[in-house]
Structure 1
Amino acid sequence: MKKIALTVLITVALTGCNDDTAEQQEFIDQVKASTTPKVEEIPKLTQFEHFDYSAGQLRSPFVAPQPEIIQSNLVQIKNCLHPDPDRTREPLEKYPLDNLAMKGTLGSQGDMWALIKAADETLHRVTVGYHLGLYHGEVKDVQNDYIELLELIPDGSGCWKERLTKLEMLEATTDDAS
């Protein structure tokens, strides 16, 4: 009895799994025949009006001006402290002081040179009289662990004020040691 019931069950199950898809194919063919494909017309392009940009020679509002441009636009008042506008700028004057790092010193106490690493990973050698930083910082003293700079800071009224600043050598990190 169990064998007969099992045989009937398997037979019923297998009849549902036939490969006859003729009915489905007939439905697909009927749908395809009753629908017509519609292609939409390509939209017409609108003519654009040419605009001639005439402010190309002006400063871009999206780019920060260089410090030397700002400083050249400041009014110079006579009988007032100000930097020498004719002095040639040195390579390290294009970096803010926080983008410069003192990495070491060379020489003896009478003739000391400092090694300065710039933001672009270049190494520069400076001594007394060299300039660095955005504010005309002149190196006044080089010690084993710091450089002393005399910077000229604009006061907003056309004059400049002197400010002493130190660029100190930082402790070596794991990146510096490798």
Structure 2
Amino acid sequence: MSIYRMLSCSAFIPFVLATSGCGDGGVQEVREWMDETRKQTVVAVPKLSEPKKFTPFVYAVKDDLDPYNPVKLSIALAKLKPNTGTGLQPDLERRREPLEAYPLDTLKMVGTLEKPGLNYALIQVEKSVFQAKVGQYIGQNFGMITKITDAEVEIKEIVRDAAGEWTERKATLELQENSK
């Protein structure tokens, strides 16, 4: 009989466990509370205020000269300073030479050429080669060739300093040898 009781107890235990989960466990009370709260709650959406009117700003100073322009600064400093200049000034009325159209950093000395009584420097710009002699102008800063040797061309440039005065500065073009 003990086996019969064990079998009957083992069949009864799953039934008891399955039916114990059938109760609502207080869920009905929670549903009733939620329904009541929904009925009592009033939805209040605040009215949005009118958007601010946008008025575009017109920047009228964009066509004026830049206040940080170095040319403007040098002119203003020159006006403030008493005229203590050295009298050095480039000849702005003379006719420009072809090599004055290029900055010095784009020019290359590629050789020299000797003719009776005259030395010429061969100056390459892009794919063109020019002959230049002492006294010719070169570069965009009123540069004049002062000396030509086999290794370099010496140039005296006349430029404006920060105070607006003309000053001399030396520059050189060194021989650029072909490296193949």
The percentage of counterpart residues that share the same residue type is: 35
Unmatched segments (≥5 aa) in structure 1: 1-57, 59-69
1:140 equivalent among 143, 146, 157: 146
Superposed displacement of residue 157, structure 1: 2.3
Matched, 1:112 2:91: no
CA distance, structure 1, for counterparts of residue 98 and residue 136 of structure 2:
10
1:166 equivalent among 165, 169, 172: 172
Tell me what 1:89 maps to.
96
Tell me if the contact between 2:152 and 2:173 (Cα under 8 Å) persists in the aligned partners: yes
CA distance, structure 2, for counterparts of residue 157 and residue 114 of structure 1:
34
TM-score by length of 2: 0.51
CA distance, structure 1, for counterparts of residue 116 and residue 179 of structure 2:
26
Superposed displacement of residue 79, structure 1: 5.3
Superposed displacement of residue 150, structure 1: 0.4
CA distance, structure 2, for counterparts of residue 116 and residue 136 of structure 1:
17
Instruction: Name the count of aligned residue pairs.
Output: 105
CA distance, structure 2, for counterparts of residue 160 and residue 109 of structure 1:
36
Moved over 2 A (4+): 73-80
CA distance, structure 1, for counterparts of residue 114 and residue 154 of structure 2:
17
Which has the larger Rg? 2
Superposed displacement of residue 122, structure 1: 1.0
Tell me if the contact between 2:120 and 2:133 (Cα under 8 Å) persists in the aligned partners: yes
CA distance, structure 1, for counterparts of residue 95 and residue 122 of structure 2:
21
Deviations 1:99-125 (A, max 9, x none): 001111111694110110013x11100
Unmatched segments (≥5 aa) in structure 2: 1-62, 64-70
Deviations 1:110-167 (A, max 9, x none): 4110110013x11100000111111111000111111010011211323111111110
Q: CA separation of 1:109/1:102 partners in 2, compared to 1, >3 Å: closer, same or farther?
A: farther
Tell me what 1:130 maps to.
136
Superposed CA RMSD in Å reads 2.7
TM-score by length of 1: 0.52
Letter in 2 for 1:140: T
Tell me if the contact between 2:160 and 2:167 (Cα under 8 Å) persists in the aligned partners: yes
Q: Which has the higher helix share?
A: 2
CA distance, structure 2, for counterparts of residue 163 and residue 110 of structure 1:
28
Tell me what 2:163 maps to.
157
Superposed displacement of residue 82, structure 1: 1.5
CA distance, structure 1, for counterparts of residue 171 and residue 99 of structure 2:
15
SS of structure 1 residue aligned to 2:111: strand
